Amino acid sequence: MIKLDIEDTQHFITESDRMLLLACAQAAVNTEGYHGPAVAFVKITDDIEIQTINREQRGIDRATDVLSFPSVSYPEGVTARNAADLLAEAYDPEWNAVNLGDIILSVDHIRAQADEYGHSVSRETGYLLTHALFHLMGYDHMEEADRIQMRAHEKAALNSTGIQREEETTLTDEELITLAYEAREYAYAPYSGYKVGAALLSEDGRVFKGCNVENAAYPNTYCAERTALVKAVSEGARRFTKLAITGSGSTPYPCGACRQSLYEFAPNLDILIAWDGNVIKTNLSELLPGGFGPSSLGK
């Protein structure tokens, strides 16, 4: 659970805007997979003040839409295995939570950009807050690979809130594969040693990640794509458009049971299979020709 300490002395935003910002913040930490207590400090201001802060803190004498100042630098993100000491360092006893850092938003820029993109001020505010939160959690976009990773997270988080910028609602294949590779890092595969990650894109834009979870009683093992599917259905998603599956060393084709499970909800699901820099694009109808689904039962 994340809390926001919002400073808005000039009353730029409404109470509903505050609730939206909190929803965006929660979506961001959920997408990152961080479930511990956290807090971020958010200042709502104008171009004049943010230009002053830019000049004093960054040596850049101009206004920008958003600034983010992480309390601690997380080289591999807040959920990385080596982040525990950094999270402890950022702990704030007053809030009984990890202090992620400070975010400053310029309402002047927000209004101008909302007009440029043809959507509401609330939507642009939520977008920029989400962008800044991922900066606080260790993401950046200076290098192309880092940009792809950060944008994939932003889109996944914002799609879950329904406020993504219209022209950026759909994740690219590369971004979906990036999320699947990240899910693979959490795989539990002590018996086969073969780790698999999956990212399932729902029709409404949400992304559900999963990894393989093996079991000493082998039949009780869960494949990555079925893990993602069960998470999606349990969150109310029923229609899906694309699935990315990632592995290493060999092609991580979905097993027969996974193909059948997916066919129940998306017979024409597009599937991306990625490993070691290779990508195969296929479709569930090709992997399971003549599949048996709900329509096969008749009335």
* Residue 233 sits in the same domain as residue 283: yes
Residues 6+ apart with CB under 8 A from 153: 28, 31, 32, 134, 139, 179
For residues 237 and 169, which has the higher predicted lDDT (pLDDT)? Answer: 237
Q: Over the stretch 2-25, which tens digit does the pLDDT of each residue have?
A: 999 999 988 888 888 889 899 999
pLDDT band at 199 (very low <50, low <70, confident <90, very high): very high
* Residue 179 sits in the same domain as residue 160: no
**Number of structural domains, the chain?**
2
Mean pLDDT for the chain?
89
Return the HEC string of 179-214: HHHHHHCCCECCCCCCCCEEEEEECCCCEEEEECEC
Residue 153's pLDDT is 85
Residue 168's pLDDT is 54
Residue 164's pLDDT is 61
Report the pLDDT averaged over residues 36-44. 94
Residue 83's pLDDT is 80
Q: Which residues are catalytic?
A: 225
Residue 14's pLDDT is 85
Q: How many CB atoms lie within 10 A of CB 7?
A: 12
Do 136 and 103 contact (CB within 8 A), yes or no? yes
* Residue 16 sits in the same domain as residue 127: yes
pTM over 0.75, yes/no: no
For residues 152 and 187, which has the higher predicted lDDT (pLDDT)? Answer: 187
131, 151, 168 — which closes off a domain?
Answer: 168
Give the domain CATH number at 178: 3.40.140.10
- Whether 82 shows a pLDDT value over 80: the answer reads no
- Whether 166 shows a pLDDT value over 70: the answer reads no
* Residue 132 sits in the same domain as residue 189: no
* Residue 132 sits in the same domain as residue 252: no
Q: Over the stretch 255-299, which tens digit does the pLDDT of each residue have?
A: 999 999 999 999 999 999 999 999 999 999 999 998 898 888 875
Report the pLDDT averaged over residues 105-118. 88
Name the region of 144 (left: φ>0; alpha: ψ -120 to 50; beta: rest).
Answer: alpha
Which amino acid is residue 145, in one-letter code?
A
- Whether 175 shows a pLDDT value over 70: the answer reads yes
* Residue 27 sits in the same domain as residue 138: yes
Using alpha carbons, select from 31, 22, 19 the residue that is nearest to residue 2.
Answer: 22
* Residue 211 sits in the same domain as residue 126: no
* Residue 195 sits in the same domain as residue 93: no
Residue spans of alpha helices (H) in the chain: 15-32, 47-58, 84-89, 107-117, 121-136, 144-161, 173-184, 224-234, 256-263, 284-287
Q: Which two tokens stand for residue 241?
A: 């458009």
Q: Of 46-55, 70-79, 185-194, 211-220, which range is least confident? A: 70-79
Do 45 and 104 contact (CB within 8 A), yes or no? yes
- Whether 141 shows a pLDDT value over 90: the answer reads no
Report the pLDDT averaged over residues 43-60. 91
Residues spanned by the domain of 285? 173-297
133, 168, 203 — which closes off a domain?
Answer: 168
- Whether 229 shows a pLDDT value over 80: the answer reads yes
* Residue 28 sits in the same domain as residue 98: yes
Residue 263's pLDDT is 95
* Residue 180 sits in the same domain as residue 292: yes
Q: What is the DSSP string of 56-82?
A: HHHS--S--SEEEEESS--TT-TTSGG
Q: Of 84-88, 211-215, 263-267, which range is least confident? A: 84-88
Residue 120's pLDDT is 80
Which amino acid is residue 286, in one-letter code?
E
Q: Which two tokens stand for residue 182?
A: 């990240």
* Residue 16 sits in the same domain as residue 144: yes
pLDDT band at 148 (very low <50, low <70, confident <90, very high): confident
135, 168, 201 — which closes off a domain?
Answer: 168
Report the pLDDT averaged over residues 118-147. 87
- Whether 169 shows a pLDDT value over 60: the answer reads no
